[in-house]
Amino acid sequence: MIMRGKKGVILGIANKKSIAYGIAKACQEQGAEVAITFLNERFERKLAPVAEELECADRFYPCDVSRPEEIKALKESIERDMGQIDFIVHSIAFAPKEGLSGRFYDISKEAFDIAMDISVYSLIEIVRELKPILSDNSSVLTLTYYGGVKYIPNYNLMGIAKATLEMTTKYLAEDLGRDGIRVNAISAGPIKTLAAAGIGEFSFMLKWNSAHSPLKRNVTIKDVGNSGMYLLSDLSAGVTGEIHYVDGGFNIMGMPAVEINEDGKQVIAWNGEPK
């Protein structure tokens, strides 16, 4: 098994539809010993069956990343129960509702600060706190999205946060490379998760990506999970600072795909059918 002997912690599972769950499942199936976290008591109840499934009910810890004391406590719990670990998955992002709708320039400083703290600074803080228990040749993985590179309708403040997260990934990769720690990000295509529910017109986004990606389909948490497992394993020992796209190739497209209709005219393809 590719991950046999590896141990790590995965932050950000909300339910079994989460991308983080897909990564956890892929790692566990390949022999890794995982720990997972929950945000609060409500999520603890919801995720208890997931912890059982992932065989980590005894490695199931609270961690609200807006509370530095909980990150410190997480480090102490992991060190007590697992000793050194080999990987960290950071799948945490949040922006207040006002940051995902309306005019972008109306976003408040408070909303901006919250989004940056939870979605970006938490990665730095988690890595800093857990670094003493990271083994040699360890791996850190975070989750981003194409809205941090190009404008995506309704993504607004989260797009700015993801852009910052991607550069944070690169700067951490350079800084921690000397310590044998790799830092990468996966840019996943749109997937119907709890986090995605806050983005306006998300169903249209799914249809658009499916129609215009080279693979002509949306990706799944299994697709992303397997790529995440690769980046956390020794198979990617020479890879760091990368933004790895798992989006069916959508990011390579410069314009919508076109087809020729019966009149010999070019039309935009839509789910394989001219429209």
Closest CA to 238 of 187, 188, 186, 184: 184
Banded pLDDT at 266 (limits 50, 70, 90): low
Range 136-146 average pLDDT: 97
Active site residues: 145, 155
Banded pLDDT at 193 (limits 50, 70, 90): confident
pLDDT score, position 201: 74
pLDDT score, position 261: 67
Q: Give CA 250 to chain center in angstroms.
A: 17
Banded pLDDT at 255 (limits 50, 70, 90): confident
Three-state DSSP state, 108: coil
CA–CA distances in Å: residue 228 to residues 43, 75, 108, 118, 211: 23, 22, 34, 21, 25
Q: Where are the domains of the chain?
A: 7-274
Helix, strand, coil shares of the chain, percent, nearest 5, are 45, 20, 35
Contact 18, 194 (CB under 8 A): yes
Supply angle C-alpha 121, 124, 127, rounded to 5: 145
d(CA 157, CA 148): 10
Banded pLDDT at 268 (limits 50, 70, 90): low
Q: Does pTM surpass 0.85?
A: yes
pLDDT score, position 101: 85
Mark 70-81 as b/e (b = at least 16 C-beta within 10 Å). ebeebbebbeee
For the chain, percent of residues with pLDDT exceeding 70: 91
105: its two tokens: 């320039």
Closest CA to 183 of 236, 222, 133: 236
pLDDT digits (tens, 9 = 90+) for 85-119: 999 999 999 999 999 888 999 999 999 999 999 99
pLDDT digits (tens, 9 = 90+) for 3-46: 999 999 999 999 999 999 999 999 999 999 999 999 999 999 99
φ, ψ of residue 72 to 5 degrees: the values are -60, -40
pLDDT score, position 275: 41
Query: What stretches of the chain show up as alpha helix (H) in DSSP?
Result: 19-29, 41-53, 68-82, 109-116, 122-130, 156-177, 202-212, 221-232
201: its two tokens: 């017109």
Q: Which class does domain 7-274 fall in?
A: alpha beta
